[in-house]
Structure 1
Amino acid sequence: MPPRSLASLAYALSATSDLDGALIALGECLAELDRGASVALLQYDARRDMLKDRLTPVGAQVVRTSMETTFDHLPEAARAKILAGGPFVDVSDRSADYARLCGFTAALDGGILAVRGLKVEGLLGAVLALYEPRKIFGTRTTERLAPAVALFDLAYVRLAERDAREEAVRTLEDVTQRVHGEYVRKLTALEAELREVRNTPQHISALNPAEAIAIQADAARSGEEARRALRRAELADQQLTSAVGQLEQAHVELHRRSEALRQRTRTLYLLDRALSLDAETTDSRKLVDGLLALVGDDMQAQRCSLMLRAPEPDYLYLAAARGIAPNIVEGMRIRIGEGVAGRVAAAREPLLVQDVREASQHPLLRDQYFTTGSFISFPLVYHDELVGVLNLTNRAQRGIYTDEDVERVRLLGLVISLIMSRNALPERLLESINVR
């Protein structure tokens, strides 16, 4: 699968808010690989052990059809692998029969049906079915689509957990409302009975002692029922509070997982853009400026620079920059071991500064263009050879760089180092700078 398709699918799956959007994205990705293949999601009802609904992406919409097919219609060997989840499973030699069962139109020259189970919290939630034409040569579509299906599996779990959480909240709200309504009705009835008893003292005086005792007993019993109803309402409220707390924790964890997936998707997209930029241009200046802009925009750095190894021993030169002081020009040299970038190049270890007090020991603070007190200076090393140093400063909205940002720059730095070394950019770019 081309990296661009995989990266765009990952971004679409992380951005979608419903299952239809995820299926449409997967269908578009499949169309890029094999226009003769079809995919469908068969929703599974565990209580009835049936495949109940079939969701098929058709262009920019999802077509829903009812199936009501028992799960045991599938071959026994395939059922066990579907329940276990994992990769696609071919449905024996009767693909045409089972393809019609799953709602596919069988190809004239025959096709291959493959199915895969999608699990949520260890239980089967749906079955993903893929029907592709038979090929004499080339890789199976199921194998080429496997990375995309793995991303779709993550998105399906995320959407299923969100739907389950919303259903739990609705159920708790309904139960609480019913308990509270029952409590209010009983309390209102008991208050009405007490008022009626209190407002008829003339009858009480005429009652014999046995009737008076019976009325008092009824009043006491009514009061006890009211107290019990109140206690039940309090317990229900406590249970609701506890459930809401658990749901909030689940929401926080789901948000954390979603954010982690979003970050991984963003990193995958950046790697795709860097490699695509390398493949699309042979101009050393455009390539270096593009790579620096890519990292700078991702890290929200309003000021950034890239220094590369100079031909002179123990020197770096400024290869590309943006937002720097006007008196600093491209090609400017610094000695390794001097200044922030020079010390990072000598140590070959990244430097992270997070606040102004810590940054006070660095010469950058004396620069009027240094405004946030937080920066990253990262060495670019490839095969134990120093390629250069990447500097990121002045995060947007006066943000602060963190250890997670350093790890993200580390991955991008490896790719940039590879591209720089493979294209001999330090030497080629310096030649173009000297010519100008």
Structure 2
Amino acid sequence: MMVADVFSTSLSLVMPPRSLASLAHALTASPDLDGALVALGECLAELDRGASVALIHYDARRDMLRDRYTPVGAQVHRTSIETTFDHLPEPVRARILAGGPFLDVTDRSADYARLCGFATALDGGVLALRGLRVEGQLGAVLALYEPRKIFGTRTTERIAPAVALFDLAYARISERDAREEAVRTLEDVTQRVHGEYVRKLSVLEAELREVRNTPRQVTAFHSAEAIALQADAARAQEEMRRAGRKAELADQQLASAVGQLEQAHIELHRRSEALRQRTRTLYLVDRALSLDAETTDARTLVDALLALVGDDMQAQRCSLMLRAPEPDHLYLAAARGIAPNIVEGMRIRIGEGVAGRVAAAREPLLVQDVREASQHPLLRDQYFTTGSFISFPLVYHDELVGVLNLTNRAQRGIYTEEDVERVRLLGLVISLIASRNGLPQALLETLHAR
């Protein structure tokens, strides 16, 4: 069986593509942890209604498992378990602290299931635990309890892709909550320091006014009393100076903290964008494999794969060239937005033109500013209107399959190195599908039959 058959079959057995895509969308749009847990619980209910899942918060300072969050329908129930983490065996604790996939505790599932707040099944069940890490530290433990099965795939294996998406969402939500808590704490400290400063300053100003308004009757004071009064005034002025200095330091600390929060917000946005890109890439791979599983017509499959990549990369003009039966030639298999005089099936020699050079070198070509790359023949094409393009070789098992070309990005955008890496994954999937289905030869037969 080919790699694509195994991957497609295992993906369909593990998670339905539509359920996985809808879960990814729900986790991305979820405003808090409750919404993410409800989405995960609904996904688990679709796979196994007899299984239960719970999120247990880990208190690192006290080394305790504390609050338990359980999705029930559209709500999340909170309970307190207050148990120390060392109740679990040392090997189990080490695996949970390291994060990663689910860990079965089959030998004592009943005892640990009760410890995690699950009602054990009469005919027995299996408990699996997974650590969720935030900033390199354990933040929570995800516990899944399922009925014991004699036949069929374990629920932990089927829901593994959904749990991986939930892990990313949990990290994003935890970082956002930590940032908001830091903002609230900083505001409380700043208000308390400022209030104390204002109070002390008011007291000192009142004492100073009292001293200044006292009539100067030198004859009425003993020399020692006059010296003591002067010392009190000097102390009051010194305390005012120190209070002002403390206020300046507080303002400086506040400005520094605001700067750190801004950097944290930028980093959080970057990570959220990375999560969105990963979710989008997972959807595209799933969609490409679904097209392979659902489509038998070579023409329809090639057009659909090109449209999938072109729409994702916002390419108003794109083309897919496949290996021709003639030695050292490629032919145009599918295209969108090309010049009217270019027809499907036309050949180019490997080593000539942009696509030919990329095919010969088997290395992707990224041009961000065509004015700095005037040697490329593509520049003489009047339909090339934007300032950058990507030409990517499709290689499978060290065999050249074809070349993918993307130009004219919408809104005159510029392709970057990150776009090349994104095309690299999609190009690998297209190469696999084209090789497995024999698309170069099958499509040529379709073109000759016209």
TM-score, structure 2 as length reference: 0.87
Partner of 2:400: 386
Identity %: 82
Query: Following superposition of structure 1 onto structure 2, how do residues 46-65 of structure 1 map, counting pairs within 5 Å?
Result: 46=60, 50-59=64-73, 61-65=74-78
Query: Following superposition of structure 1 onto structure 2, how do residues 199-238 of structure 1 map, counting pairs within 5 Å?
Result: 199-202=213-216, 206-238=220-252
- CA displacement at 1:105 relative to structure 2: 3.5
Partner of 2:211: 197
Counterpart of 2:282 (choices 261, 264, 268) is 268
2:200 maps to 1:186? yes
Distance 2:67 2:443 in 1: 59
Closer/same/farther in 2, CA of residues 79 and 336 from structure 1, 3 Å limit? closer
Partner of 2:158: 144
Amino acid at match of 1:372: T
Q: Would you say how many aligned residue pairs link Structure 1 and Structure 2?
A: 435
2:261 maps to 1:247? yes
Partner of 2:9: none
- CA displacement at 1:294 relative to structure 2: 0.8
Closer/same/farther in 2, CA of residues 113 and 344 from structure 1, 3 Å limit? closer
Please state whether the residue corresponding to 2:330 is helix, strand or coil.
strand
Cα deviation 1:367-402 (Å, max 9, x = unaligned): 332111200111222233322211100112211111
Query: Following superposition of structure 1 onto structure 2, how do residues 353-392 of structure 1 map, counting pairs within 5 Å?
Result: 353-392=367-406
Closer/same/farther in 2, CA of residues 65 and 2 from structure 1, 3 Å limit? closer
Amino acid at match of 2:157: E
Closer/same/farther in 2, CA of residues 283 and 359 from structure 1, 3 Å limit? same
Conserved? CA contact 1:307–1:317, under 8 Å: yes
Partner of 1:351: 365
Conserved? CA contact 2:322–2:333, under 8 Å: yes
Distance 1:396 1:45 in 2: 48
Counterpart of 1:115 (choices 101, 124, 129) is 129
Distance 2:416 2:86 in 1: 54
Closer/same/farther in 2, CA of residues 315 and 272 from structure 1, 3 Å limit? same
Conserved? CA contact 1:38–1:130, under 8 Å: yes
Conserved? CA contact 1:50–1:68, under 8 Å: no
Closer/same/farther in 2, CA of residues 391 and 196 from structure 1, 3 Å limit? same
Conserved? CA contact 1:85–1:116, under 8 Å: no
Partner of 2:83: 70
Conserved? CA contact 1:365–1:373, under 8 Å: no
Closer/same/farther in 2, CA of residues 235 and 29 from structure 1, 3 Å limit? same
Distance 1:3 1:129 in 2: 22
Please state whether the residue corresponding to 1:409 is helix, strand or coil.
helix
Closer/same/farther in 2, CA of residues 265 and 204 from structure 1, 3 Å limit? farther
Distance 1:83 1:313 in 2: 55
- CA displacement at 1:203 relative to structure 2: 5.1
Query: Following superposition of structure 1 onto structure 2, how do residues 290-369 of structure 1 map, counting pairs within 5 Å?
Result: 290-369=304-383
- CA displacement at 1:108 relative to structure 2: 3.3
Distance 2:89 2:49 in 1: 30
Distance 1:92 1:387 in 2: 47
Conserved? CA contact 1:344–1:389, under 8 Å: yes
Distance 1:176 1:133 in 2: 53
Partner of 1:104: 118
TM-score, structure 1 as length reference: 0.89
Distance 2:254 2:347 in 1: 66
- CA displacement at 1:290 relative to structure 2: 0.8
Distance 1:205 1:100 in 2: 87
Counterpart of 1:171 (choices 185, 196, 199) is 185
Amino acid at match of 2:75: V
Amino acid at match of 2:154: R
Distance 2:133 2:40 in 1: 18
- CA displacement at 1:231 relative to structure 2: 1.4
Distance 1:88 1:422 in 2: 33
What are structure 2's unaligned runs of at least 5 residues? 1-13
What are structure 1's unaligned runs of at least 5 residues? none
Amino acid at match of 2:409: R
- CA displacement at 1:94 relative to structure 2: 5.5
- CA displacement at 1:36 relative to structure 2: 1.3
- CA displacement at 1:240 relative to structure 2: 2.8
Cα deviation 1:237-279 (Å, max 9, x = unaligned): 2333333333333333333333333323222221111111111
Closer/same/farther in 2, CA of residues 122 and 341 from structure 1, 3 Å limit? closer
Please state whether the residue corresponding to 1:379 is helix, strand or coil.
strand
Amino acid at match of 1:195: R
Cα deviation 1:104-144 (Å, max 9, x = unaligned): 34333222233333343455432222111111123322233
Conserved? CA contact 2:51–2:146, under 8 Å: yes
